[in-house]
Structure 1
Amino acid sequence: MQPKALIFDVFGTVVDWRGGVAAYTAPALAERGLDLAPEALADAWRDEYQPAMQRIRDGGRGYVPLDDLHRENLDRALERLGIADAFDAAARDALNPAWEALPPWADVLPGMARLRARFLLAPCSNGSTSLMVRLARFAGLRWDCILGADVARDYKPKAGVYLASAAALRLAPGEVMMVAAHDGDLAAARAAGLQTAFIPRPDEFGTGEPETITQEWDVIAEDFGALAERLGA
């Protein structure tokens, strides 16, 4: 069955979080004379991402928007890297918008233009509405609406996030396709009744290797252009 809407993982699938965070933080590191690759800061910051959300998924903490989690995670990353003393609170606040300034992968904008002519498009991200709106403006992403964590008040891969996104569009889960570069994201979406599409992003973590897939997803396409081709857009 052809989907009526496509919802997308954003960090890694649509935008290059690692390259974007590294580019945004590089001037601050250089200004302080720190001998640290900006990619190392990006990786350390991202390493705190899942643990911070897991405390909320497990019920140990109420819902907190990702913007605030990112700011808390930055404190942990700087401590772990041994450079916390170089950044006061104001400097850390100035780094936090790095996650709103991430470039799209080269295939994303032309591929989205083709897909948008035929399907409703929306992020289904762990990013807050505020973060997703600002990132969309920076990256030139033309969404029909913003879905995800703020709508569900929870974090992927909890089933409620995918189901809340489908419900917000007044569509049955099976009428919605989740698009992601992450196998676990797609497994959770499929379990919730959504269709699935895998897009490999070998450069997401700087390894040149895409994430290993464990299932035969409804669509596996090399990029957004190929996804549009497969879906007749």
Structure 2
Amino acid sequence: MVIKTETVKAIVFDTFGTVVDWRGSIIADLSQWGEASGVHADWSSLVDEWRGRYEPQKDRVRRGEIGWTNIDDLHFEALCSLLPEYGLSNLSDAQRMHVNRVWHRLNAWPDAVAGLNRLKKRYVIGPLSNGNIALLVNMAKHAELPWDSIFSCEHFQRYKPHPDTYLGVCRQMYLEPNEVMMCAAHNYDLAAARSVGLRTAFVPRPTEYGPGQTTDLEAKDDWDVVASDLQDLATKMGA
């Protein structure tokens, strides 16, 4: 069934969790690197705790406690604060940077690249992500994500769900809000996008946070499209 979304000309995607499997990618990457480098740690726990500091770190920027700081720098600050807890205080500067740059090396979910390639034939596609520009570009190269453009919150110096992020895409593309669709695996992201007039598509990623995930297991509102994955989204969007 093709959904009636005739006005849509561009689709932007939340990236961490929606397009790429950040948790599985980081655990696999750092486990392999640690084995080869003789650096041993509970990588799964470190990754979960590291990600747990993601929203609090961004909140410091949102509240104006610190000036605009990109995600690479926020990730690095959080990582360094965690290293002693995991017996990794002796990592060199180069090793710390390698670990922090793991966010540039995330792998796509199995359906993502094929689904995006189908959507790209009919729509302008790109990430609308809290990730900074360099991170998103490097991730796209690594995971073969076929973006037409990069829409980073770094462009707008605001983190989602600030309205400037969603409307910034519209402004840059000379499109009206109802001509842009936000696709995400997170209901809060879609609610914020809808509040400023964007169309919305929900794709569940029930293992984003691991086997015990309890949030965003299903659509919590009547989004314009609810798809099982990005291949299904392409089908429902007539691509």
Q: Specify if TM > 0.5.
A: yes
Partner residue, 1:228:
234
With normalisation by structure 2, the TM-score equals 0.91
Q: Indicate which of 27, 31, 37 corresponds to 1:26.
A: 31
Residue 70 of structure 1 aligns to which amino acid in structure 2?
H
- Which of residues 13, 29, 32 in structure 1 aligns to 2:18? 13
CA distance in 1, matches of 2:16, 2:93: 25
Q: Which amino acid aligns with 2:73?
A: D
* Residue pair 1:196, 1:217 contacting (<8 A) in 2 also: yes
* CA deviation after TM superposition for structure 1 residue 28, in Å: 4.7
- Give the distance between the partners of 1:203 and 1:74, measured in 2 at CA: 23
Task: Report the Cα offset of residue 151 of structure 1.
Answer: 1.4
How far is the alpha carbon of 1:148 from its aligned partner?
Answer: 2.4
Match runs of 1:185-224 below 5 Å: 185-207=189-211, 211-212=216-217, 213-224=219-230
Equivalent residue in structure 1 for 2:132, among 111, 117, 128: 128
**Secondary structure at 2:89 match in 1:** helix
Q: How many residues were matched structurally?
A: 231
Unaligned segments of structure 1, at least 5 residues: none
Aligned to 1:50: 55
The residue identity in structure 1 corresponding to 2:65 is: G
CA distance in 2, matches of 1:204, 1:61: 29
Partner of 1:122: helix, strand, or coil? Answer: strand
Displacement of 1:223: 0.5
Structure 1 residues 197 and 208, CA gap change in structure 2 (3 angstroms): farther
2-side partners of 1:48 and 1:78: how far apart?
Answer: 13
**1:76 maps to what in 2?**
81
Give the structure-1-normalised TM-score. 0.93
- CA RMSD of superposed structures (Å): 1.6
1:114 to 113, 118, 128: 118
Deviation, structure 1 residue 77: 2.7
Distance 1:184 1:135 in 2: 24
How many Å separate the matches in 1 of 2:87 and 2:33? 12
Report the CA distance between 1:19 and its aligned residue: 1.1
Identity of aligned residues (%): 41
CA deviation vs aligned residue, 1:36-95 (integer Å, no higher than 9, x gap): 2x222211111111111111111222111111111111112324x342424243321121
Separation in structure 1 between the aligned mates of residue 57 and residue 230 of structure 2, nearest angstrom: 30
1:178-221: CA deviation from partner (whole Å, max 9, x where unpaired): 00001111111111211110000112111265614321111000
Deviation at 1:140, TM superposition (A): 0.2
Deviates more, 1:208-217 or 1:159-168: 208-217
Out of 171, 178, 181, the position equivalent to 2:182 is: 178
- Counterpart amino acid of 1:55? R
- Structure-to-structure mapping, 1:83-162, within 5 angstroms: 83-162=87-166
SS in 2 for 1:85: coil
Partner of 2:68: 63
Rounded Cα–Cα distance in structure 2 between residues aligned with 1:136 and 1:208: 28
Instruction: Tell me the distance in 2 between the aligned counterparts of 1:130 and 1:6.
Output: 21
- Give the conservation status (yes or no) of the 8 Å contact 1:148–1:165: no
